[in-house]
Amino acid sequence: MALLPNLFGGSGGIDRMLEDVRRLQQQMEKAFGGSGPMPLMRSDWQPAIDVKENPDGITVTAELPGLDDKDVEISLDEDVLTIKGEKRTEEKREEKGWHVQERSYGAFSRALQLPFTPKTDAVQANFVKGVLTVMLPRPPEAEKPRTRIEIKTG
């Protein structure tokens, strides 16, 4: 006995209708040449991040549950750090019996403007147990010349 009523009649009910919508979405993506996410049946999923600054630099931590390092791309364009990737569904849901799906999937992109431009060869990234940590060391600032200004009187 189904837990949810068959709201749309016929064979398959809501499961059938959702599968038809997914199939239509795939056809639209193919027709418009889009490989990126479309808003229909996709999420606006964004990973949660923490940004911590200290005298040595900035550490950005992003929670990326269910992703591997190969699913994530990190780039640095002067003072803008970009983290992007895609969280794919784990299985095709062609079978019946699904009642709730709360986990989000889809492509994401987070761009953060930094208060300095780090040297790219000094940036480090680690990915452990679904948590990405990016360390951006503060570059040594060039010595700014000091000049004493003489004060003149009357």
The tens digit of pLDDT for each residue in 113-146 reads 999 999 889 999 999 999 999 999 998 874 566 7
The predicted pLDDT at position 14 comes to 64
The predicted pLDDT at position 33 comes to 59
Q: Does 7 score more than 80 pLDDT?
A: no
- What pTM value is reported for the model? 0.59
DSSP string, 34-91: --S--STT-------EEEEEETTEEEEEEE-TT--GGGEEEEEETTEEEEEEEE--SS
Cα–Cα distance for residue pair 87/146, rounded to 1 Å? 52
The tens digit of pLDDT for each residue in 16-26 reads 777 778 778 77
The tens digit of pLDDT for each residue in 40-81 reads 444 567 889 999 999 899 999 999 988 889 999 999 999 999
Domain ranges of the chain: 9-42, 43-88+104-138
Distance of CA 91 to the CA centre of its chain: 21
The predicted pLDDT at position 73 comes to 95
The predicted pLDDT at position 53 comes to 93
Domain 43-88+104-138 -> CATH class? mainly beta
32 or 81, higher pLDDT: 81
Percentage, residues of the chain above pLDDT 70: 68
